[in-house]
A and B are shown apart, each in its own frame.
Chain A
């Protein structure tokens, strides 16, 4: 909300300097988002009197008016207005005046006549006046001030607007100048501001049935204007600087009191109401056109103000169009009420009407204010207004006192403040103490129990006065969960092998998932009902779309090799419950890296495969996830370059594959390898670490052997067969094989393995090695694998 320094001084006359006020508000929990000085534009606008007028020699619609100013100097000004006759006192803005619309006045040449500055209308100065004051024409001033008086002097000088951020609890009592003044009074140790005396209501038969649980206090006051009136200038100015446009006295006065006393008021045009008024729940389907021109269909949850025939207004939220007042309305019914906040808030949310009234009532208001706000309004009408009757229904309920327990407050705050100190803090905010009970002032609907009271003590006593204390008791360092530790280990391992972690949003859409999430096996997605944009309308079931988009976005910006991964939850719908599972997605571009010295060959899918194997070993998952030739592939996968990741039950958990090049064009990538793996719940992983063998002290020997494979076989077939031969040998000593070359020659695929022999007991000799090689050659030969000599 906004308020001004001058406005606050109306309730707290000896207010300290602005910066102290800002500090005080901050300390009381009100965030001052900005301050702005206003009114300097009125410093040069001065009162002048018309002494002569003549027709403009060259334009029918213009006049040349001579005014005498405070200095006695006479100035000729051209005006298009038709009012402002000799003897009238007007507001004159000399050259150099900065206008509200941003213009700076100069000396204008209007059809050959020089016109320094301007004579001004009320609207040009940001005011609204009745016909008597000139209406739309020049503002005719009827005040007694001497010529030369500036408008700024009349308005009481430059003011400062305070832009405040109020949390919902503060909104219940600080959303008005008087509320803020109460907090400041407590902070500066001044007497609390006085509030108007309650209005004494009469017995006009205007109110019928009232839904008292939802409208505990409901009052109507009949008011009538004897003659047209202007909203007081100071009030118009305060309203304008806090962002309210002055409209008409009824609207301005109720607006002012809303922000001054925190009491929303409403006026009905009495001539359009069929009395008596009822306050009741709407009928389901009942219709009402609100002030904003929207026809609304009401439900039985909405509280309405109705007359004998129909709903007139959404209680506490917005008035109806049919009974709205205009600038000409003389006879009104002023409604001042107290509504139960939750109902108002629900109606506000349901109809999406964030009116100032609803934002007050819905957050809680002072029921007593419903009784004194009419008195305040009547006082501003002065002798223009007349009360035609009034009536009140309901009553202000008694507040349940709160039992005071100083020890409990001290314990909660961790302080040693005495009861006396704390009760005096509370007294400054208007809390009364009677024996062991605290009476909460009616304007603090938010304070319900002792912990709320503790917060008030804290606000007034100052958080800075609470001591610093360290938690005591034995401290054992805390632990992460196994799930968190394992997830981190998996992510960290990918970083270790040169992959960069990315974090993408979980929002996606059917279009973005298309092609990347297998349709046949897919579970139902969870839809987001209020997405920020259509492409974020569901929760992801796979990390692939986000990963691939990230690769594409990076490639769109620059040519670079990319190796990225994400480890994050994906979401599925299981019946009417959500299911959250961790998934790993890894991507690596395989195309030619950008030219760079020294040249590096492009990565291959084997790089990703090897990285995966290393990572799985690193985190102990080598037995949990293994790679096999796939039985089924997702549609994005290259059918000849893919592997499935399976768990110990041979269930497929993921895919490692190149992507079909046709899918890559939009990404500016020629070749891309992807891995997607549903890692399950890390807490249930069966982790295995390799056995740590004692290294042999004896030198190893090796043989390089080249094999020519039959067409039907791959590398794994060769290794499998060699391993079979080696099973008995490995009981004696260590034999390892490593692929050192592979090429396709005239006889087929040639694979060269280095077979390394090493013993823990002795240096191995030909005698031990040769028989193994011979057995290998003869057994493999029997299966069609020939040794290349």
Chain B
């Protein structure tokens, strides 16, 4: 037992010197194997008198614990080193690209339509619907656009071979349908969205485009409420610093009628190539014409209303900075997928407000 004083040191050195799992295992066997030095020594403790035996036993136990601690640490170290050696053989060129994930998205106009709808749904408007091939009554007469009235020429229509029908030129027919459905109840707050058709095609006009129409009818609704609604809508869509400007205008179904501009989303109203004078024309609105109220079953003496109509493509182009309305409907996948990458969050960004 004379060299037991040196065992602790010898064990530590042997463990530290082991370079591989195999070597370390040999060290373990040398000391703690069935015939290991420490095992043998501990087995022989029984030969000692009980007093010594307890003392020596404690000493051996301490030695064994110390060995095992060092052994575990070293084993972990060696495992890591060995794994590293192995992994270094498995190097990839991490500059290579991966396969494109397979994704699809809704058309930008669908997405913006939904987003604008959401703004109005939150404000308590309910969605109304109507057909795209509409009767002349709903599309024109009920909306105070008699035949042979100059207002008909404002919207060049597509006619179909069904007498009395036309491709709807606006979402406004749904106003009348919604009023009829409401049967004179107050308040009425509806929106309707959908494709509309006008016989017009150039860089800023398409024969097919998408409109959102909002209608409110109640006892004491005034132009001031329309103004407040327009500002709320503009700020929801284009950011909290957005300003609006209203100009008197004309629509047969509203009186007074207003054209609505928003402060330019590009230059924040300072004036730039997009807006020229800091303002962008965005929608038409006004107080519902008494004739239209009557045609929808409301008494203009008892209720007023306002309506607004917004071109979704125009909103899409402003939010996403697209400059040619025709590209939206060419369905060029490289164009749509570009927006697929750019657009997630673009809607939200525009609503977070201007960064300044």
Contact = CB atoms under 8 A, between A and B. Distances in A.
Interface string B207-227: 110000000101011111111
A167 interface: yes
Interface stretch (A140-148, A392-400, A412-420, A657-665): A412-420
A494 B127 contact: no
Contacts of B229: 470-471
A577 B162 contact: yes
Contacts of A530: 158-159, 199
Contact of B248 (A28, A558, A573): A28
B160 A527 contact: yes
Interface stretch (B9-17, B18-26, B81-89, B331-339): B331-339
B224 A414 contact: yes
Majority secondary structure of chain B interface residues (helix, strand, loop or mixed): mixed
A484 B129 contact: yes
Interface string B251-270: 01001111100000000000
Contact of A502 (B247, B252, B331): B331
Interface string B120-151: 11111111110111000000000000101111
Contacts of A470: 225, 228-229, 232
A469 B333 contact: no
B248 A463 contact: yes
A135 to B, nearest CB: 42
B315 interface: no
Contacts of B96: 597
A500 B132 contact: no
A494 B102 CA distance: 12
A170 interface: yes
Given A414-B223, A576-B163, A471 B228 contact: yes
A451 B289 contact: yes
B207 A414 contact: no
Interface in A492-518: 492, 494-507
B158 A528 contact: yes
Interface residues of B, number: 90
Nearest to B208: A505
B164 to A, nearest CB: 8
Given A477-B124, A506-B132, A562 B333 contact: yes
A503 B110 contact: yes
Nearest to B123: A475
Interface stretch (A342-350, A430-438, A705-713, A728-736): A342-350
Contact of B104 (A29, A497, A580): A497
* Residue among B97, B110, B120, B223 with most chain A CB within 10 A: B223
B329 A507 contact: no
B154 to A, nearest CB: 7
Contacts of B102: 498, 563
A218 interface: no
Contacts of A464: 245-246
Q: Which bucket holds chain A's interface residue count?
A: 35 or more
A528 B224 contact: no
Contacts of B125: 478
Contacts of A721: none
A580 B162 contact: no
A490 to B, nearest CB: 11
Given A412-B223, A412-B304, A458-B248, A571 B133 contact: yes
A451 B249 contact: no
Interface stretch (A222-230, A549-557, A686-694, A775-783): A549-557
B222 A414 contact: yes
B239 interface: no
B309 interface: no
A345 B150 contact: yes
A473 B187 contact: yes
Given A471-B216, A495-B105, A168 B248 contact: no
Contact of A455 (B158, B252, B256): B256
Contacts of A496: 104
A346 B158 CA distance: 19
Given A29-B249, A412-B287, A500 B127 contact: no
Interface string A455-491: 1001100011011111101011111110110001001
A276 interface: no
A542 B160 CA distance: 18
Contact of A531 (B103, B158, B225): B158
A67 B161 CA distance: 72
Nearest to B245: A464
B304 A468 contact: no
A503 B111 CA distance: 12
Nearest to B134: A578
A629 interface: no
Interface string A342-373: 10011001000000000000110000000000
A598 B228 contact: no
* Residue among A459, A478, A600 with most chain B CB within 10 A: A478
B236 interface: no
B191 interface: yes
Contact of A478 (B120, B132, B163, B249): B120
B107 A503 contact: yes
A528 B131 CA distance: 16
* Residue among B154, B332, B340 with most chain A CB within 10 A: B332
Contacts of A463: 227, 246-248, 258
B243 to A, nearest CB: 11
Given A451-B256, A494-B104, A467 B227 contact: yes
27 contacts: A27-B247, A29-B247, A170-B250, A342-B146, A342-B149, A345-B148, A345-B149, A363-B150, A413-B222, A414-B222, A415-B223, A449-B290, A454-B256, A455-B255, A458-B223, A463-B247, A467-B227, A470-B225, A478-B121, A481-B128, A495-B105, A500-B336, A500-B340, A501-B107, A553-B330, A554-B332, A580-B131
Given A345-B150, A473-B218, 4 more contacts: A168-B149, A463-B227, A469-B222, A554-B331
Interface of A: 26-29, 31, 167-171, 342, 345-346, 349, 362-363, 410-415, 449, 451-452, 454-455, 458-459, 463-464, 466-471, 473, 475-481, 483-484, 488, 491-492, 494-507, 526-532, 536, 539, 550, 553-554, 557-558, 560, 562-564, 569, 571, 573, 576-578, 580, 596-598, 600
